[in-house]
Amino acid sequence: MLTVNNIQKHYGGGTQALKNISLTIPDGIACGLVGPNGAGKSTLMKILASVIKDYKGEVHIGATTIDRKKKEQFGYIPQEICLEQTLSALDNLYFFGKLYGLKGKQLKTRASEVLADIGLSGRGNDKVITFSGGMKRRLNIGCALMHTPKIIIMDEPTIGIDPQSRRYIFQMIEQLKQKGCTIIYASHYMEEVEQLCDEVAFIDQGDIIENGSIEGLLQKNIFPSIFIKGINSLPENIRQFGTLENKDGGYLLATRTPLEAMEAVLNHCQRKNVQLEQLELVQPRLEDVFFSLTGSQLRD
């Protein structure tokens, strides 16, 4: 269990990047960190990874407070690509492996394993400068996995990459979870967090505004909706099912009882002989939860 207790971080010039963050992340899950630019996600990740050592509060792994001088407690994948471009993929992996104390046969074996995991087995001896953006991102991740960390922190690992690399990264995350690793995953892509993560923490202006299981947050914060198109005006008996808004030339009805509402729409159409263009159930998304909490879209 990773526990973050009352973390505060001030940068110079009066910027308070983190106000008072507390968070508990169970072992073996993927937790998404979601928030707009400047919310404080990278700062929190750097604190966890001991890249930033000057902060108030504490981070615990189980009952042990993390040692701010030791980076090897976590695998940290920074937002920026951090590779030596003129060296080969293997040499980059060796470099990071040595930083974490690996050597000899153990170093070589681990580098081959990691190279296979990131889908670059055939490219080990090629210089990084010849790699695509996605391949560099995968190698960037591989470097942070050389010491087989149990907690892996990924700061927006899929920015600007091709679909193949994205698929590899997703597969790797699934495999790491199966091996019992805990993943902390910052992203601007809500759909990635929905797909990959078990839990999510929304960060806004240096505070966690909500966190918990994705399913739980969806249920707690928003109702499903039905989308109705092809009726000019909705009768009162349908309006009373929930909250109505105009959308894409039709109506979006947020309701706790979507199936009953759909039945009422169909009955109305049958009675009035109206030909519906569209009637469908719209499942709530994480994006909607964020909007209901902050009143703004993540990528406004």
Ligand X SMILES: Nc1ncnc2c1ncn2[C@@H]1O[C@H](COP(=O)(O)OP(=O)(O)OP(=O)(O)O)[C@@H](O)[C@H]1O
Here's the x/- map for ligand X, 10-49, by CB under 6 A: it reads as -x---x-x-----------------x-xxxxxxx------
Contact call for residues 155 and 79 (beta carbons, < 8 A): yes
Closer residue to ligand X, CB minimum distance, 81 or 276: 81
Q: Pick between residue 191 and residue 260 the one whose CB is nearest to ligand X.
A: 191
Q: Which C-beta is closer to ligand X: that of 37 or that of 273?
A: 37
User: What is d(CA 11, CA 56) in angstroms, rounded to the nearest whole number?
Assistant: 12
Q: Phi first, then psi: what are they for 213, rounded to 5°?
A: -70, 145
How many chain residues interact with ligand X (CB under 6 A)? 11
Say if CB 260 and CB 241 are below 8 A apart.
yes
The minimum distance between CB 138 and ligand X, in angstroms, equals 20
Estimate to the nearest angstrom the gap between the alpha carbon of 91 and the chain centroid: 30
- Minimum distance from CB of 38 to ligand X (Å)? 4
Q: Which is nearer to ligand X, 39 or 226 (CB)?
A: 39
Rounded to a whole number of angstroms, the minimum distance from the CB of residue 110 to ligand X is: 30
Q: Is 157 in the site for ligand X (CB under 6 A)?
A: no
Q: Give, as one character, the DSSP assignment of residue 123.
A: G
Q: How far is the CB of 172 from ligand X (least distance, A)?
A: 22
Shortest distance, position 23 Cβ to ligand X, whole Å: 15
- Local structure of residue 99 (DSSP, 8 states): H
Residues whose CB is less than 8 angstroms from the CB of residue 111 and which lie 6 or more positions away in sequence, other chains included: 90, 93, 94, 97, 124, 146
According to DSSP, the β-strands at 278-282 and 225-229 are antiparallel
Binding stretches for ligand X (CB under 6 A): 11, 15, 17, 35, 37-43
